[in-house]
Structure 1
Amino acid sequence: MIEYMEDWFRLAVDHLPVGIIAIDREGRIQILNRLLAKLTGLEAENVLGEPFLKLFDGQSSGSNKLLQTLATGREYQSLKPESVIPVNAVTNLVSNIYAVKNKSGTTVGAVAVFTPERRLQELEKTIIKVEKLAILGQLATEMIHEIRNPLTAISGLMQLLQQHLKGTPKEEYVTIILAELKHLNSFITDFLLMARPGYCKPTQCSINQLIKEVVALVECEASIRNLIINLGIEKNLPIVNADRGQLKQVFLNITRNAFEALPVGGELFIQASSDRQQGVVRIVFRDTGTGIDKQTLANMFNPFFTTKESGTGLGMFISKKIIDNHGGHIEIQSEPPSGTTVTVTLPVA
């Protein structure tokens, strides 16, 4: 078992995208991974178990940072490779050195990690970009709230005006304005959800009950449009930890998308089952509509992409964010004209 774990550990270290060399308390090399061996020209089989000083081949090692860390426990960041190993062919790397300590805090080894400078630059750029986006997101959220307040007042006044103009030719103008205000308010709601999709309040949630609530909300619309909903829900599905409101929003969005794709007399099949071996609950929405072409399917989760005249293009984007934040997965499959299948997978509690 011990030999297996050692082999597994060395295999894992060999596949890391950074170079690694580690020495024990006697200064012997215990780890030299594949990437560092390739960059330095050293061969692991020739140096493992050998004194680290052997690499210097008589050269001075007094200022070597890896040995200093072993002796003092002091750690170093952003070093040039030559201050760690006596090889000059790896100048495109940056090294950090860490002390290896036992439970009592005594230094029993030292490890140097070599990271490509290009990779560090990419990480720095990513961090800066994320920080900028976070600031812009906060500003946008505050601006949206400021926009929503006057919109609410305008909508209320327009409804009062509509009562005064009832039965006159100008009533149609007010109706159009109210419809546009409703669309704009819907867009703002979606935008706010997009700005903070990671926010949720998970509680123990019954998928059986949640699906029944969703179906109850759309039954009237299904009846008016002569659509059929077929339920196939496994009894006693495992409980999931989820934000009920957010999951309901996802299920409603998928269901209404299916309704818009269905012809009169079309059917929507909603099935829920558990895979106890994988520890997940799977909810499948399958409609008998005309399906989705490949180009549209490829863009379904992109923000602001929509094929609807009054759509915001945020519904499926937000739905995916919500499911991702719950540790789940959402997938869409479609082969026109055979309908569309949306599968949501969620981990059980």
Structure 2
Amino acid sequence: MLSEFQDTLLQSVKAYQSTELVKNKYENVLEHLDSGILLFDSEGELSFINVQMAKLLEIPRQSLIGCNLLQMLRHTHLTRFKKRKILRIYRETIFHRKKYHELIDEYGRHWLITVTYGDQMDGDYLLSVKDVSDYKRIEQTAYQNDKLAMLGKISAAIAHEIRNPLTAIRGFIQLLRPHLVQLGRDEYARIILTEIDRANDIIYEFLNSSKPSAPQKVVVSVSSLLKEVVLLTESEGLMKGCEINLRLPDEVMKISVDVKQIKQVLLNIIKNAMDAIEEVEGDHAGIIDIGAHLDGKFVNISIQDNGNGMDKALLAKLFDPFFTTKEKGTGLGLSVSYRIIKNHRGNISVDSMKGSGTVFLITLPLA
């Protein structure tokens, strides 16, 4: 009888140890996930927080265990920005019963918040936070490429539809020209033909700008390219009260690019920088800093201004075709620049804050 009891007790101890081993294994997995994890029990108290979530909150884990939401919000180490975000997450996921919520933090990173609760959780609430910034960038790039491809198709169709009647008008004016000469109105024919040719040139330029041709690449020095661009923009900068500074490293950096297209991109960004500086009210000394540095097998070209800057909503639409904040703008400049850089197997990004200026970063592969 005693031996049976001992066997049963031994089996129970082994089962407990096995259960604890599995529990510790799963806790270890949760501890080191790249997603932040919070687990609140049915009483609303925090029973588990992993390493990643503690890093995101920038608070020691042990000081949070056992806290409810209100106590967390009163924590002295929690920033005001994070408090606002936690309240918003609570409102969206718990109050409005949304199981998914997306937000952007103070550094511009995208986060996906998922809340799991219900019968399967026995009254507990599991909250996970994952950085989805890379996925958002990929999604935005695909979306941007789709829009630019559509723009190219629309442009080609418009150009074709307008060119056909212009060709017919030009032909009939040339047939009528001898009659206009007899009437002493040859000047009218000349003006009409000149304006038709101008309209054709505008269509051609629009078609080329909306759908850049394949780059005709040559190997050039980054330093000489940037010096030429500064030379072309210095006089306009002086007239608009902008100081253009060029800072180049000692290393020789060479890239294989279509010089005309890359100049178009750089000139467009610098022109936008001048316009942004003009928007600043009061006596404001405009500064545009242009620089380049090596980054592995790539060259990073930066253009920074101290202009008016942009908010996040404006940044999200910056490379959209036909999107412009200028009264006489076409909204094609930056969308075309985006396509040109992508055609060169490079990347273009922008960082800005309202009232604090803007930085464009162009990355191109070395030759």
Q: What's the TM-score, normalizing by structure 1?
A: 0.48
